[in-house]
Structure 1
Amino acid sequence: MPERADRTPDRAGRRSWAVGAALSAPLGLLLTVLPAGVAGAEGVEATGYGAPSTRCEVTDPRLPELSGLVGAGDAMLAMNDGGARAEVFVLDGACAVGDVRAADVDPYDPEDLALGADGTIWLADTGDNNHTRETVALIGLRADGSSTLTRLTYPDGPHDAEALLMAPDGTPYVVTKEVLGASSVYRPDAPLADGATVPMSRVVELGFTLTGTPGGPVGRAGQLLVTGGAVSGDGQRIALRTYTDAYVWPLTGSDVAGALAGAPVRVALPESPQGEAIAFASNHRDLLVASEGLPTAVTLVPAAGEIAPAASTAPADGAAAAAGTLSHEVAPLTAGLIAALVATALVWIGGRIRRRRQG
């Protein structure tokens, strides 16, 4: 039997579409009453990229839920969201599947993909819609055909995460997907090791804000939910995406945490039903994005100029300047209001789910 990547006894919650659908209505109400300090987007400019175009179209029935994407020269690596095996599909320039790389591992909910400097392909088995997993995992597919499995633990309980950033020095960073945009970035406390369980520490807090860009399966909430990540092949840029927008930071060395503390360039992405995949193209500057569903287009978003941090409108002194665009602290009153609204939304969702089960 394939090795299981997860230790959680109940695996029925891999994909909780009922919860995802139920989120839309209460979150839509919640987002209309959030304070301006949370919903503002100061310091982020939608500049630096040109008009998107379709590079190719994925039609292969083996990729119905394309969630992870990596540029590999003229080819691309792609993976499904979910699945009973750890599999990576090699796509040519026309999005046709050629080779398939796989490991005899049964993942729980793989969500993103990264390529290491040594050629190892990393699958982030980090999805946790119901926040019940005791561990998440990184699965490595080595160039020699062997594989590794490292389990990871959060310091503060379960999180759902759909974005993996692999620093040039091989350090992985997991970025959580949070309904109010308050994503956290976690880094393992020790090197990855096959068969080991490694604790992680939170190194950066991000605060994604409403942008007005349409798209995604959950209305305005999709503007806040991190669904994918990428590091450019030359190690000079980082990208994170939501269902609607991409954010690009310059990277120096392997200081991913330091880079994410700065101000990004925001790119409004073409509207798509469930956009979760993002990668850098072979020139290390253009973006490639794709959505779940078949057929699905791999869209090229060209870099139109030098990618540099946007000018911040925050005060220039110490901690206030460090808060920048996406990293912020929430005042106690605001936090209390958010907590109350979230509690109301969760009660509403729970009632919907119970009624569906009883019906």
Structure 2
Amino acid sequence: MPEQAVLLRSAVVRSRWAPAGALGLALAVVPALPAAASAEETAAPSVRCQVTDPRLTELSGLVDVGDRMLAIPDGGDQVTVAALDGACRVTDVTAVPLDPYDPEDLGVGADGTVWLADTGDNNATRATVALIALRPGGTTSLYRLTYPDGPHDAEALLVAPDGTPYVVTKEVLGASHVYRPAAPLLDGGTVALADVGTVTFTLTGTPGGPVGRAGQLLVTGGAVARDGSRIALRTYTDAYVWPLAGSDVPAALAGDPVRVALPPSPQGEAVSFTADGTALLVAGEGLPGDVTLVPIPAATAAPEPSAAADPSLSALLEDDGSGPSPVTAGIVAAAVATVLVWIAGRIRRRGAASPPPAA
């Protein structure tokens, strides 16, 4: 189905290059906190606070660092990091003095470095993607990266306890690739990425997201617990949590995760562990936008492998005589929804780009 594949890669490229000035976000080193033990019964999700600031209309990345939360918006002509208080009010903003393309996620290293993943590529046309490091001393570094197998769209960043960044791609058929730099990062230069694993997601039946069933397969964010004990990935509808030993992220992702069904949201893209590691925080695009506290259950089995785990597109689209398969329906829904999002994005950006009327 090549036409569907083309539609699924279609989206507006949000790229108006412009330098930005830093506004002084304090990037203090955040000490690790021990994770608390899981409760016998898992509490229901609850809204911690609600984002209303128009600068975060397209909130895409979130990290809880204890005394505040850090958040970034998706796209735009500059990359900014907002500090939020416990009521989701913006208390500080740093405009990063580097040209962004499509920032999608962020993470905080053990040394307090804030990492931004400028890895969005809806049209799969970028020759390079980038990581931006904001260090506690106030310096900023730009690291460009190339995939070994051509462009990918990616919205999830995992910063291992040893500081190694991992990028997880967003794949409509559920088989997300995991990449890490194949060589030491080079400030202002470009290094290759190495494909170090695959994480396969299957249909769960959890509602939510902008693209129907396909949203259950699309990875939109990642997180690492502050004590380094766990990692998480989320789709539009579910979160998955794995135990982490040391900094071996690929080995962790090869294990069985705990799956957490997330409350329905129009476009959920951000996930973070709480500062104490007892729960997840999730958020997404749209205003007002809830930042929701989601407890992590002690054990919830991931969905059983299904046809979605088969990498063969023809196998995924087989009809057993009872009508379209759930995967087929998901792919078609994703194609239609992606086109609608693309059209809406073009209209919005054309309006934003129009010159003001003459005085």
Normalising by the residue count of structure 1, what TM-score does the alignment of the two structures yield?
Answer: 0.75
1:56 counterpart = 2:55: no
Contact persistence 2:232–2:239 (CA under 8 A): yes
User: What is the number of equivalent residue pairs in this alignment?
Assistant: 296
1:57-206 matches, within 5 Å, as: 57-206=50-199
1:1-359 to structure 2, matched below 5 A, reads 13-15=12-14, 49-305=42-298, 310=301, 330=311, 334=315
Q: 2 CA distance for matches of 1:49 and 1:207?
A: 26
Contact 2:61 2:269 (C-alpha < 8 Å) held by counterparts: yes
CA distance in 1, matches of 2:237, 2:90: 27
Call closer, same or farther: CA 1:183–1:311 in 2, change over 3 Å: closer
Give yes or no for contact 1:90–1:98 (8 Å, CA) kept in 2: yes
Q: Residue 200 of structure 1: SS of its match in structure 2? A: strand
Q: Report the Cα offset of residue 335 of structure 1.
A: 7.0
Q: Give the superposition deviation at 1:83.
A: 1.9
User: Once the two structures are superposed, what CA deviation does each residue of 1:66-115 show, in whole Å capped at 9, x if it has no partner?
Assistant: 00000101310000001222210010111111121232112110000100
Partners of 2:288 and 2:303 in 1: how far apart? 40
Code of the residue aligned with 1:14 in structure 2: it is V
- SS class of match (1:62): helix
Question: What is aligned with 2:21?
Answer: none
C-alpha distance in 1, partners of 2:240/2:295? 14
Let me know the Cα RMSD of the aligned residues: 3.0
Structure 1 Cα separation of the partners of residues 226 and 83 of structure 2: 17
Find the aligned partners of 2:302 and 2:234 in 1 and give their Cα distance: 20
1:26 corresponding residue in structure 2? none
Are 1:65 and 1:81, in contact at CA under 8 Å, matched by a contact in 2?
yes
| Whole-Å separation in 1 of the counterparts to 2:115 and 2:308 | 27
State which drifts further: 59-68 or 93-102.
Answer: 93-102
TM-score of the superposition, structure 2-length normalised? 0.75
Gaps of 5+ in 1: 1-11, 17-46, 314-323
- For 2:293 and 2:307, locate their aligned partners in 1 and report how far apart those are by CA, in whole Å: 25
Distance 1:15 1:83, change over 3 A: closer
Q: Give the CA deviation at 1:333.
A: 6.3
* 2: CA distance, partners of 1:70 / 1:326: 34
How far residue 330 of structure 1 moved from its aligned partner, in angstroms, is 4.0
Query: Whole-Å Cα distance in 2 between the matches of residues 246 and 332 of structure 1?
Result: 25
Pair 332,55 (structure 1): closer, same or farther in 2 beyond 3 Å? closer
CA–CA separation in structure 2 for the residues paired with 1:332 and 1:90: 43
Q: How far apart are residue 144 of structure 1 and its match?
A: 1.8
How far apart, in 1, do the equivalents of 2:59 and 2:53 lie? 11
Q: How far, CA to CA, are the matches of 1:287 and 1:259 in structure 2?
A: 18
Identify if the C-alpha distance between structure 1 residues 212 and 99 changes in structure 2 by more than 3 Å, giving closer, same or farther.
same
| Preserved contact between residue 103 and residue 118 of structure 2 (Cα < 8 Å) | yes
| Alignment check: 8 A CA contact 2:310 2:316 kept | no
Contact map agreement 1:151 1:195 (CA 8 A) in 2 = yes
Q: Distance in 1 between matches of 2:51 and 2:284?
A: 10
Deviations 1:45-86 (A, max 9, x none): xx9853100000111111110000001013100000012222
- 1:199-222 deviation digits (Å, cap 9, x = unpaired): 011111111110000000011111
